[in-house]
Structure 1
Amino acid sequence: MPSSLEDLLAIARNYWPSTQDAYLKQEVSPEVGQLQRLWEQELGRIDRWWSFLRDLESALPGFTVGDATATRDACFRCVAYPPGSIPPARLRWAAVGCLSILAPVYTVHGVQLEYRGAERIGQKALLGPQPSETAHAAAVIARRLETMFGVTALPRELAQARVPLFVEFKEPPETLLMHALFTSSPESVP
Protein backbone atom coordinates (compact mmCIF):
# COMPACT_ATOMS: atom_id res chain seq x y z
CA MET A 1 0.00 0.00 0.00
CA PRO A 2 1.21 3.54 -0.64
CA SER A 3 2.28 4.55 2.84
CA SER A 4 2.07 8.33 2.86
CA LEU A 5 -0.35 11.12 2.18
CA GLU A 6 1.92 12.27 -0.66
CA ASP A 7 1.81 8.83 -2.33
CA LEU A 8 -1.97 8.58 -2.05
CA LEU A 9 -2.47 12.17 -3.20
CA ALA A 10 -0.27 11.48 -6.23
CA ILE A 11 -2.55 8.57 -7.12
CA ALA A 12 -5.74 10.60 -6.57
CA ARG A 13 -4.45 13.44 -8.78
CA ASN A 14 -4.65 11.05 -11.74
CA TYR A 15 -8.44 10.82 -11.32
CA TRP A 16 -9.63 14.16 -9.90
CA PRO A 17 -8.91 17.68 -11.16
CA SER A 18 -7.04 20.24 -9.10
CA THR A 19 -8.96 23.16 -10.60
CA GLN A 20 -12.65 23.91 -10.86
CA ASP A 21 -12.37 24.61 -14.61
CA ALA A 22 -13.28 21.04 -15.51
CA TYR A 23 -16.63 21.35 -13.73
CA LEU A 24 -17.35 24.89 -14.95
CA LYS A 25 -16.83 23.87 -18.58
CA GLN A 26 -19.15 20.92 -18.05
CA GLU A 27 -16.72 18.72 -19.94
CA VAL A 28 -15.14 15.54 -18.75
CA SER A 29 -11.68 16.45 -17.51
CA PRO A 30 -8.72 14.24 -18.46
CA GLU A 31 -8.63 13.06 -14.83
CA VAL A 32 -12.30 12.12 -14.66
CA GLY A 33 -11.92 10.47 -18.07
CA GLN A 34 -9.22 8.29 -16.46
CA LEU A 35 -11.65 7.38 -13.68
CA GLN A 36 -14.31 6.42 -16.23
CA ARG A 37 -11.85 4.19 -18.09
CA LEU A 38 -10.80 2.57 -14.82
CA TRP A 39 -14.45 1.86 -14.00
CA GLU A 40 -14.88 0.16 -17.38
CA GLN A 41 -12.06 -2.21 -16.41
CA GLU A 42 -13.37 -2.75 -12.88
CA LEU A 43 -16.90 -3.47 -14.04
CA GLY A 44 -15.49 -6.22 -16.23
CA ARG A 45 -14.42 -7.95 -13.00
CA ILE A 46 -17.54 -7.22 -10.96
CA ASP A 47 -18.25 -10.91 -10.30
CA ARG A 48 -15.68 -10.80 -7.50
CA TRP A 49 -17.62 -7.96 -5.85
CA TRP A 50 -20.92 -9.87 -6.13
CA SER A 51 -19.21 -12.87 -4.55
CA PHE A 52 -18.00 -10.64 -1.70
CA LEU A 53 -21.55 -9.38 -1.09
CA ARG A 54 -22.93 -12.95 -0.99
CA ASP A 55 -20.19 -13.91 1.48
CA LEU A 56 -20.98 -10.87 3.60
CA GLU A 57 -24.68 -11.76 3.68
CA SER A 58 -23.79 -15.21 5.02
CA ALA A 59 -21.44 -13.71 7.61
CA LEU A 60 -24.04 -11.24 8.91
CA PRO A 61 -27.25 -13.23 9.56
CA GLY A 62 -30.20 -10.96 10.25
CA PHE A 63 -28.57 -7.95 8.58
CA THR A 64 -29.75 -6.63 5.26
CA VAL A 65 -26.69 -6.36 3.02
CA GLY A 66 -26.72 -4.41 -0.20
CA ASP A 67 -24.61 -2.77 -2.88
CA ALA A 68 -24.25 1.02 -2.76
CA THR A 69 -21.69 1.38 -5.57
CA ALA A 70 -21.95 4.42 -7.84
CA THR A 71 -19.51 4.86 -10.71
CA ARG A 72 -19.20 8.59 -10.03
CA ASP A 73 -17.29 7.53 -6.91
CA ALA A 74 -13.87 5.87 -6.76
CA CYS A 75 -14.94 2.76 -4.88
CA PHE A 76 -17.18 -0.22 -4.59
CA ARG A 77 -19.48 0.28 -1.59
CA CYS A 78 -21.56 -2.11 0.47
CA VAL A 79 -24.02 -1.35 3.22
CA ALA A 80 -25.20 -3.53 6.10
CA TYR A 81 -28.38 -2.60 7.96
CA PRO A 82 -28.97 -4.24 11.35
CA PRO A 83 -32.24 -6.04 11.99
CA GLY A 84 -35.06 -3.54 12.52
CA SER A 85 -36.75 -2.90 15.82
CA ILE A 86 -40.49 -3.04 16.44
CA PRO A 87 -41.69 -0.34 16.53
CA PRO A 88 -39.11 1.14 14.16
CA ALA A 89 -36.58 3.38 15.88
CA ARG A 90 -36.35 7.07 14.98
CA LEU A 91 -32.55 6.77 14.66
CA ARG A 92 -31.04 3.76 12.93
CA TRP A 93 -27.50 2.91 11.89
CA ALA A 94 -25.88 1.25 8.90
CA ALA A 95 -22.29 0.08 8.42
CA VAL A 96 -20.75 1.04 5.07
CA GLY A 97 -17.65 -0.57 3.57
CA CYS A 98 -15.74 1.18 0.77
CA LEU A 99 -13.16 -0.58 -1.44
CA SER A 100 -11.12 1.94 -3.42
CA ILE A 101 -10.50 1.23 -7.09
CA LEU A 102 -7.60 3.73 -7.06
CA ALA A 103 -5.38 2.29 -4.32
CA PRO A 104 -5.30 -0.98 -2.33
CA VAL A 105 -7.15 0.54 0.63
CA TYR A 106 -10.59 0.38 2.22
CA THR A 107 -12.55 2.16 4.90
CA VAL A 108 -15.60 1.28 6.95
CA HIS A 109 -17.81 3.96 8.44
CA GLY A 110 -21.24 4.33 9.95
CA VAL A 111 -24.25 6.21 8.65
CA GLN A 112 -26.90 7.42 11.05
CA LEU A 113 -30.36 7.38 9.47
CA GLU A 114 -33.15 9.48 10.93
CA TYR A 115 -36.77 8.49 10.33
CA ARG A 116 -40.19 9.98 10.91
CA GLY A 117 -42.36 6.89 10.82
CA ALA A 118 -41.32 5.03 7.66
CA GLU A 119 -39.96 8.17 5.95
CA ARG A 120 -36.21 8.82 6.03
CA ILE A 121 -35.71 12.49 6.86
CA GLY A 122 -31.96 12.68 7.38
CA GLN A 123 -28.66 10.86 7.23
CA LYS A 124 -25.12 11.64 8.28
CA ALA A 125 -21.81 9.82 8.14
CA LEU A 126 -19.82 8.91 11.23
CA LEU A 127 -16.18 8.44 10.26
CA GLY A 128 -15.01 7.61 13.77
CA PRO A 129 -15.58 4.56 15.95
CA GLN A 130 -18.75 2.64 15.17
CA PRO A 131 -21.84 2.69 17.39
CA SER A 132 -22.70 -0.55 19.13
CA GLU A 133 -25.47 -1.30 16.60
CA THR A 134 -22.98 -1.66 13.75
CA ALA A 135 -19.61 -2.34 15.40
CA HIS A 136 -19.85 -6.09 14.76
CA ALA A 137 -20.90 -5.59 11.12
CA ALA A 138 -18.09 -3.05 10.59
CA ALA A 139 -15.52 -5.52 11.93
CA VAL A 140 -16.86 -8.31 9.71
CA ILE A 141 -16.84 -6.06 6.64
CA ALA A 142 -13.26 -5.00 7.37
CA ARG A 143 -12.01 -8.58 7.80
CA ARG A 144 -13.78 -9.77 4.66
CA LEU A 145 -12.41 -6.88 2.55
CA GLU A 146 -8.88 -7.60 3.78
CA THR A 147 -9.19 -11.33 3.13
CA MET A 148 -10.92 -11.26 -0.25
CA PHE A 149 -9.18 -8.26 -1.83
CA GLY A 150 -5.84 -8.07 0.01
CA VAL A 151 -6.37 -4.43 0.97
CA THR A 152 -5.53 -2.52 4.14
CA ALA A 153 -7.52 0.02 6.11
CA LEU A 154 -6.79 3.64 5.28
CA PRO A 155 -5.75 5.19 8.61
CA ARG A 156 -8.30 7.72 9.85
CA GLU A 157 -5.72 10.51 10.05
CA LEU A 158 -4.92 10.04 6.35
CA ALA A 159 -8.58 9.67 5.37
CA GLN A 160 -9.38 12.99 7.01
CA ALA A 161 -6.43 14.89 5.50
CA ARG A 162 -7.49 17.83 3.36
CA VAL A 163 -6.44 17.60 -0.29
CA PRO A 164 -6.39 20.24 -3.09
CA LEU A 165 -8.72 18.34 -5.43
CA PHE A 166 -12.22 18.84 -6.81
CA VAL A 167 -14.17 15.63 -6.20
CA GLU A 168 -17.77 15.73 -7.39
CA PHE A 169 -19.53 17.98 -4.86
CA LYS A 170 -16.47 18.67 -2.72
CA GLU A 171 -13.94 21.39 -3.35
CA PRO A 172 -10.90 22.65 -1.44
CA PRO A 173 -10.61 23.23 1.45
CA GLU A 174 -13.49 20.83 2.18
CA THR A 175 -12.14 17.91 0.13
CA LEU A 176 -10.68 15.08 2.20
CA LEU A 177 -8.50 12.23 0.97
CA MET A 178 -11.44 9.97 1.82
CA HIS A 179 -13.55 11.80 -0.77
CA ALA A 180 -10.88 11.32 -3.44
CA LEU A 181 -10.20 7.63 -2.75
CA PHE A 182 -13.77 6.56 -1.97
CA THR A 183 -16.80 8.85 -2.20
CA SER A 184 -17.68 12.52 -1.91
CA SER A 185 -20.99 11.52 -0.26
CA PRO A 186 -20.19 9.00 2.50
CA GLU A 187 -23.59 9.64 4.08
CA SER A 188 -25.52 8.61 0.95
CA VAL A 189 -26.91 5.07 1.17
CA PRO A 190 -30.01 3.48 -0.37
Structure 2
Amino acid sequence: MSLTAQQLLDIASQYRDTTRDYYLRQEASPQHERLAALWKQELLKLDRWHAFIRSLAREMPGFTFGDGTAPLSPCFRCVAYPATSYPHPSVPWAVVGCVSILAPVYTVYGVEFGREAPVRGGSTLYLDDLPDFMSAVALGLGTKLEAQFHVTALPREMARTPVPLFVESKAPPETTLFDALFTDRPEVIP
Protein backbone atom coordinates (compact mmCIF):
# COMPACT_ATOMS: atom_id res chain seq x y z
CA MET A 1 0.00 0.00 0.00
CA SER A 2 1.47 3.33 -1.05
CA LEU A 3 1.06 6.39 1.10
CA THR A 4 0.44 9.83 -0.37
CA ALA A 5 2.68 12.81 0.35
CA GLN A 6 -0.06 14.24 2.58
CA GLN A 7 -0.33 11.01 4.58
CA LEU A 8 3.44 10.94 5.04
CA LEU A 9 3.41 14.59 6.11
CA ASP A 10 0.66 13.83 8.63
CA ILE A 11 2.79 11.01 10.05
CA ALA A 12 5.98 13.10 10.15
CA SER A 13 4.10 15.97 11.83
CA GLN A 14 3.53 13.74 14.84
CA TYR A 15 7.31 13.60 15.37
CA ARG A 16 8.59 16.89 13.96
CA ASP A 17 7.96 20.43 15.19
CA THR A 18 5.87 22.88 13.20
CA THR A 19 7.37 25.90 14.97
CA ARG A 20 10.81 26.81 16.24
CA ASP A 21 9.52 27.52 19.76
CA TYR A 22 11.08 24.50 21.42
CA TYR A 23 14.49 25.13 19.91
CA LEU A 24 14.71 28.22 22.13
CA ARG A 25 13.66 26.41 25.33
CA GLN A 26 15.31 23.82 27.54
CA GLU A 27 12.33 21.44 27.40
CA ALA A 28 11.52 18.92 24.70
CA SER A 29 8.49 19.41 22.51
CA PRO A 30 5.71 16.78 22.51
CA GLN A 31 6.85 15.79 19.00
CA HIS A 32 10.44 15.31 20.15
CA GLU A 33 9.25 13.26 23.13
CA ARG A 34 7.21 11.04 20.78
CA LEU A 35 10.26 10.58 18.54
CA ALA A 36 12.43 9.68 21.54
CA ALA A 37 9.82 7.16 22.73
CA LEU A 38 9.61 5.65 19.25
CA TRP A 39 13.40 5.35 19.07
CA LYS A 40 13.39 3.58 22.43
CA GLN A 41 10.99 1.04 20.92
CA GLU A 42 12.86 0.77 17.62
CA LEU A 43 16.24 0.22 19.28
CA LEU A 44 14.88 -3.14 20.41
CA LYS A 45 15.16 -4.09 16.71
CA LEU A 46 18.82 -3.16 16.50
CA ASP A 47 19.97 -6.80 16.54
CA ARG A 48 17.80 -7.50 13.48
CA TRP A 49 19.27 -4.44 11.74
CA HIS A 50 22.84 -5.52 12.49
CA ALA A 51 22.07 -9.06 11.27
CA PHE A 52 20.76 -7.51 8.05
CA ILE A 53 23.99 -5.54 7.62
CA ARG A 54 26.06 -8.70 8.20
CA SER A 55 23.97 -10.51 5.58
CA LEU A 56 24.67 -7.73 3.07
CA ALA A 57 28.39 -8.29 3.50
CA ARG A 58 27.93 -11.96 2.58
CA GLU A 59 25.48 -11.36 -0.28
CA MET A 60 27.19 -8.36 -1.89
CA PRO A 61 30.91 -9.06 -2.13
CA GLY A 62 33.18 -6.21 -3.08
CA PHE A 63 31.69 -3.87 -0.48
CA THR A 64 32.19 -3.19 3.18
CA PHE A 65 28.99 -2.43 5.06
CA GLY A 66 28.57 -0.35 8.18
CA ASP A 67 25.81 0.99 10.38
CA GLY A 68 25.18 4.72 9.86
CA THR A 69 22.17 4.98 12.16
CA ALA A 70 22.02 8.24 14.12
CA PRO A 71 19.39 8.76 16.86
CA LEU A 72 18.49 12.30 15.77
CA SER A 73 17.46 10.98 12.37
CA PRO A 74 14.29 8.86 12.31
CA CYS A 75 15.75 6.02 10.28
CA PHE A 76 18.06 3.08 10.32
CA ARG A 77 20.94 3.64 7.87
CA CYS A 78 23.38 1.19 6.37
CA VAL A 79 26.38 2.34 4.38
CA ALA A 80 28.09 0.43 1.56
CA TYR A 81 31.72 1.37 0.88
CA PRO A 82 33.82 -0.06 -1.96
CA ALA A 83 35.82 -2.77 -0.15
CA THR A 84 39.10 -1.75 -1.74
CA SER A 85 38.89 1.69 -0.18
CA TYR A 86 38.14 0.74 3.40
CA PRO A 87 39.24 1.88 6.02
CA HIS A 88 38.96 5.66 6.00
CA PRO A 89 40.13 8.16 4.86
CA SER A 90 40.64 6.68 1.40
CA VAL A 91 36.90 6.07 0.83
CA PRO A 92 35.99 7.77 -2.48
CA TRP A 93 32.23 7.16 -2.29
CA ALA A 94 29.44 5.32 -0.47
CA VAL A 95 25.86 4.21 -1.06
CA VAL A 96 23.45 4.64 1.84
CA GLY A 97 20.19 2.78 2.45
CA CYS A 98 17.68 4.24 4.92
CA VAL A 99 14.56 2.68 6.43
CA SER A 100 12.31 5.22 8.13
CA ILE A 101 11.03 4.41 11.60
CA LEU A 102 8.09 6.77 11.02
CA ALA A 103 6.55 5.17 7.92
CA PRO A 104 7.06 1.99 5.86
CA VAL A 105 9.32 3.69 3.32
CA TYR A 106 12.99 3.57 2.40
CA THR A 107 15.45 5.44 0.22
CA VAL A 108 18.86 4.78 -1.24
CA TYR A 109 21.29 7.54 -2.17
CA GLY A 110 24.96 8.08 -2.91
CA VAL A 111 27.72 10.28 -1.54
CA GLU A 112 30.98 10.95 -3.35
CA PHE A 113 33.78 12.35 -1.23
CA GLY A 114 36.36 14.92 -2.18
CA ARG A 115 39.87 14.72 -0.80
CA GLU A 116 41.53 17.43 1.23
CA ALA A 117 44.99 16.39 2.40
CA PRO A 118 44.79 12.98 4.13
CA VAL A 119 41.11 13.21 5.09
CA ARG A 120 37.72 13.34 3.39
CA GLY A 121 36.83 16.74 2.06
CA GLY A 122 33.60 18.15 0.69
CA SER A 123 31.07 15.74 -0.67
CA THR A 124 28.66 15.47 -3.58
CA LEU A 125 25.24 14.11 -2.72
CA TYR A 126 23.26 12.03 -5.22
CA LEU A 127 19.62 11.76 -4.16
CA ASP A 128 18.28 11.23 -7.67
CA ASP A 129 20.40 9.96 -10.52
CA LEU A 130 23.31 8.01 -9.10
CA PRO A 131 26.49 7.66 -11.14
CA ASP A 132 26.92 4.32 -12.92
CA PHE A 133 29.51 3.10 -10.41
CA MET A 134 26.92 3.46 -7.60
CA SER A 135 23.84 2.21 -9.44
CA ALA A 136 24.30 -1.56 -9.12
CA VAL A 137 24.91 -1.50 -5.37
CA ALA A 138 22.02 0.95 -4.90
CA LEU A 139 19.65 -1.33 -6.80
CA GLY A 140 20.80 -4.39 -4.86
CA LEU A 141 20.54 -2.59 -1.54
CA GLY A 142 17.05 -1.31 -2.32
CA THR A 143 15.85 -4.78 -3.31
CA LYS A 144 17.18 -6.26 -0.07
CA LEU A 145 15.63 -3.49 2.07
CA GLU A 146 12.23 -4.11 0.45
CA ALA A 147 12.42 -7.87 0.97
CA GLN A 148 13.72 -7.79 4.54
CA PHE A 149 11.67 -4.93 5.99
CA HIS A 150 8.56 -4.88 3.75
CA VAL A 151 9.03 -1.21 2.88
CA THR A 152 8.55 0.65 -0.39
CA ALA A 153 10.80 3.21 -1.99
CA LEU A 154 9.84 6.82 -1.36
CA PRO A 155 9.44 8.23 -4.89
CA ARG A 156 12.04 10.90 -5.61
CA GLU A 157 9.45 13.52 -6.59
CA MET A 158 7.62 12.90 -3.31
CA ALA A 159 10.89 13.07 -1.35
CA ARG A 160 11.44 16.61 -2.65
CA THR A 161 8.01 17.80 -1.43
CA PRO A 162 8.44 20.88 0.80
CA VAL A 163 6.96 20.43 4.28
CA PRO A 164 6.20 23.01 7.01
CA LEU A 165 8.36 21.25 9.61
CA PHE A 166 11.52 22.08 11.50
CA VAL A 167 14.05 19.24 11.24
CA GLU A 168 17.29 19.79 13.14
CA SER A 169 19.26 22.06 10.76
CA LYS A 170 16.44 22.66 8.26
CA ALA A 171 13.53 25.08 8.44
CA PRO A 172 10.63 25.79 6.07
CA PRO A 173 10.59 26.40 3.16
CA GLU A 174 13.81 24.35 2.70
CA THR A 175 12.60 21.30 4.66
CA THR A 176 11.48 18.37 2.51
CA LEU A 177 9.65 15.14 3.16
CA PHE A 178 13.03 13.38 2.74
CA ASP A 179 14.43 15.46 5.64
CA ALA A 180 11.44 14.72 7.87
CA LEU A 181 11.36 10.94 7.22
CA PHE A 182 15.10 10.21 7.00
CA THR A 183 17.71 12.87 7.73
CA ASP A 184 18.39 16.54 7.16
CA ARG A 185 22.12 15.85 6.64
CA PRO A 186 22.36 12.79 4.39
CA GLU A 187 25.95 13.53 3.42
CA VAL A 188 27.15 13.05 7.02
CA ILE A 189 28.02 9.37 7.34
CA PRO A 190 30.70 7.50 9.28
The TM tier, using the shorter chain, reads: over 0.9
> Aligned residue pairs: how many?
188
Structure 1's consecutive aligned runs of 4 or more residues displaced over 6 angstroms after TM superposition are none
1:76 to partner: Cα distance = 0.2
Secondary structure of 1:28's aligned partner: coil
User: What CA deviation, in whole Å up to 9, does each residue of 1:115-160 have, x standing for no partner?
Assistant: 1353111123210121122111111110110000000000001101
- Asked if structure 1 preserves the Cα contact closer than 8 Å seen for 2:66 and 2:80, the reply is yes
Q: How high is the TM-score relative to the length of structure 1?
A: 0.93
Counterpart in 2 of 1:169? Answer: 169
Counterpart in 1 of 2:63? Answer: 63
- Asked if structure 2 preserves the Cα contact closer than 8 Å seen for 1:59 and 1:140, the reply is no
- Asked if structure 1 preserves the Cα contact closer than 8 Å seen for 2:82 and 2:91, the reply is no
Superposed, 1:8-19 pairs within 5 Å as 8-19=8-19
- Asked if structure 2 preserves the Cα contact closer than 8 Å seen for 1:16 and 1:165, the reply is yes
* Equivalent-residue separation in structure 1 for 2:65 and 2:141 (angstroms): 11
* Equivalent-residue separation in structure 1 for 2:2 and 2:25 (angstroms): 33
Q: How high is the TM-score relative to the length of structure 2?
A: 0.93
Task: Sort the Cα spacing of 1:26 and 1:171 in 2 relative to 1 into closer, same or farther, 3 A.
Answer: farther
- Asked if structure 2 preserves the Cα contact closer than 8 Å seen for 1:105 and 1:151, the reply is yes
Superposed, 1:23-102 pairs within 5 Å as 23-84=23-84, 92-102=92-102
Secondary structure of 2:77's aligned partner: strand
Q: Structure 1 counterpart of 2:172, which letter? A: P
Task: Sort the Cα spacing of 1:6 and 1:136 in 2 relative to 1 into closer, same or farther, 3 A.
Answer: same
* Equivalent-residue separation in structure 2 for 1:4 and 1:24 (angstroms): 32
Are 1:108 and 2:108 matched, yes or no?
yes
Are 1:120 and 2:149 matched, yes or no?
no
1:2 to partner: Cα distance = 4.8
* Equivalent-residue separation in structure 1 for 2:62 and 2:118 (angstroms): 20
- Asked if structure 1 preserves the Cα contact closer than 8 Å seen for 2:99 and 2:107, the reply is yes
* Equivalent-residue separation in structure 1 for 2:177 and 2:105 (angstroms): 12
Q: Structure 2 counterpart of 1:138, which letter? A: A
Task: Sort the Cα spacing of 1:171 and 1:92 in 2 relative to 1 into closer, same or farther, 3 A.
Answer: same
- Asked if structure 2 preserves the Cα contact closer than 8 Å seen for 1:91 and 1:115, the reply is no
- Asked if structure 2 preserves the Cα contact closer than 8 Å seen for 1:82 and 1:134, the reply is no
Q: Which moved more, 1:22-31 or 1:37-46?
A: 22-31
1:15 to partner: Cα distance = 0.2
Q: Structure 1 counterpart of 2:77, which letter? A: R
User: What CA deviation, in whole Å up to 9, does each residue of 1:59-101 have, x standing for no partner?
Assistant: 221211100000100100011011346xx9x982210000000
* Structure 2 unmatched runs, 5+: none
Counterpart in 2 of 1:186? Answer: 186
